[in-house]
Structure 1
Amino acid sequence: MPTWLCAAAGASGGGGMTDFLAAVVATLKPLGLNYAFVLDAGERSAFLRGLLVTLELCLLTIPCSLAAGLVLAAMLTSGRRALAAPARAFVELTRNTPTLVQLYCAFLVLNMLITQQLASRGTGNPLTPFVWVVIVVSLHKAVFHAEALRAGIEAVPRITLEAARSLAFSRRQLLLQVELPLAVRFALPALVNNVVDLVKMTAVASAIAVGDLTYEAIMIWTQRDNVLELLLLILACFGLLTWLVSRAGRWLENRLRMPGYGH
């Protein structure tokens, strides 16, 4: 039996986890992979802390981006120029510029202006780098959600809308009770794809020193020169997260599918 399996079998004893990690490190070392950092309690906890921050970013940005996308889609399809025009301008500006540039502009420019204004009033700026990442990433992906939902709304059969109008549905009732429920089903594959991309996009948090998975890995490899090993771990972690999102999206598609609709 390999040494790491033997260590795993005895993990329930005293120091079992440490022995298990040491065995894994020893097993991977002949392959040219140096994962000795997991034996250091400080570096191991820093990596796990970064993973937790990445999970927090995902759990916050996903619902925030979907909510903002829903609002933008409603504005785009409202039929009112006063609502549709600014929404369209925001969509075009946001999706045609890089997320990293948007993050830098928000954190280095807008955040500085807010800080100066609040300092003149004797108060501090409550917007931390973490909050700015949530805001920027959520709004960036919201425009893609909005376009997917807009396409879904426009794909709702005209005869369905006419039937709803014949029942004296108001514009608001039509949107909330007919168009959006159908549009979400039509747009769900695109929405899931957007959420998968959003999970990967949270890595930009490291650009403004938010202690996410990528940032903590960079801090570790600058001390140990094990870039390849940590990059493989980052890829594995994000691969697992995106796979879970994809599986959840596939389950949701099957759950919301309407048998026979559209055939």
Structure 2
Amino acid sequence: MIDGLLPGLVAALKPLGLNYAFALDASERAAFVRGLGITLQLCLLTIPGSLLAGVAIAAALTSGRPWLAQPARAFVEVTRNTPTLVQLYCAFLVLNMLITQQLRPLGGANPLTPFVWVVIVVSLHKGVFHAEALRAGIEAVPRITLEAARSLGFSQRQLLARVELPLAVRFALPSLVNNLIDLVKMTAVASAIAVGDVTYESIMIWTQRDNVLELLLLILLYFGLLTWLVSLAGRWLEERWRMPGYGQ
């Protein structure tokens, strides 16, 4: 059915000055669709990865233990004050090489592919911003609530897991959603190390054809759809997790 509709769509767009002839080439169409899937996979992996990293870093920042909080603060400052692309290059070109050199004498192959490095770097980078949002949320938890939990015999770990984090997530949810929207767009840096996401596959196609504008429009629409879905999920969570008595 798609093969039957595509020629008509391509012909209908041609008078508008849009050249989507690549869609009629089976190999180029398959490459573009594969790129869409890779971008979606990156989003599905980096979103939970960044949230887990954010919770871990926020817990370290608010632990009250200098040996834990100070390295976490240093990591936050370095990570959020340097570009994601530079971090990706450093990880892939330096750390990846060092790991490969260490494994080579042992006869083992480096299991960290470019795709994995993108997931790690983007998750940690955006996890730092999640951590700051969660830290602010934790500090916004009313003191009387914490005192009530301590009076029930909650340990510091239980206090964090059962009281502070559940409230902090609700307080920080708008910031977290904004961070996740930015994360979805950030996955486009994967093309810098030849991960076959939608941006990379589009670049490969337009190097053979004069259709840069057409492919950029498709990339914009695709990322717009993904970010809209994240925003929609965020608004749904805000309504579902709304709590009376806490400024909501």
Q: TM-score, normalised by structure 1?
A: 0.93
Deviations 1:141-169 (A, max 9, x none): 00000000000000001111111112221
2:71 partner amino acid = P
2:160 partner amino acid = L
Residue of structure 2 in register with 1:142 after alignment: 127
Residue of structure 2 in register with 1:57 after alignment: 42
* Alpha-carbon separation, structure 2, partners of 1:241 and 1:195: 11
Residue of structure 2 in register with 1:38 after alignment: 23
Q: 1:157 aligns with which of 136, 142, 166?
A: 142
* Alpha-carbon separation, structure 2, partners of 1:28 and 1:179: 54
* 3-state SS, counterpart of residue 223 of structure 1: coil
Q: 2:231 aligns with which of 221, 246, 252?
A: 246
The Cα of 1:19 is off from its aligned counterpart by 2.6
Asked if residue 93 in structure 1 is aligned to residue 49 in structure 2, the reply is no
Q: 1:113 aligns with which of 85, 90, 98?
A: 98
Higher normalized contact order (CA 8 Å, seq sep 6+, divided by chain length): 2
The Cα of 1:116 is off from its aligned counterpart by 0.8
Say what the alpha-carbon RMSD is for the aligned residues. Answer: 0.9
Asked if residue 211 in structure 1 is aligned to residue 185 in structure 2, the reply is no
Q: 1:176 aligns with which of 148, 161, 175?
A: 161
Percentage identity across aligned positions? 81
Structure 1: 5+ residue runs without aligned partners? Answer: 1-15
* Alpha-carbon separation, structure 2, partners of 1:19 and 1:61: 36
* Alpha-carbon separation, structure 2, partners of 1:237 and 1:262: 36
Q: 1:73 aligns with which of 58, 65, 72?
A: 58
1:124 partner amino acid = A
Residue of structure 2 in register with 1:166 after alignment: 151
1:159 partner amino acid = I
The Cα of 1:250 is off from its aligned counterpart by 0.5
Residue of structure 2 in register with 1:9 after alignment: none
Q: TM-score, normalised by structure 2?
A: 0.98
* 3-state SS, counterpart of residue 208 of structure 2: helix
* Alpha-carbon separation, structure 2, partners of 1:106 and 1:169: 40
* Alpha-carbon separation, structure 2, partners of 1:244 and 1:126: 32
Q: 2:87 aligns with which of 74, 92, 102?
A: 102
Structure 2: 5+ residue runs without aligned partners? Answer: none
User: Rg larger in 1 or in 2?
Assistant: 1
Q: 2:6 aligns with which of 8, 18, 21?
A: 21
The Cα of 1:97 is off from its aligned counterpart by 0.2
* Alpha-carbon separation, structure 1, partners of 2:213 and 2:239: 39
The Cα of 1:260 is off from its aligned counterpart by 3.5
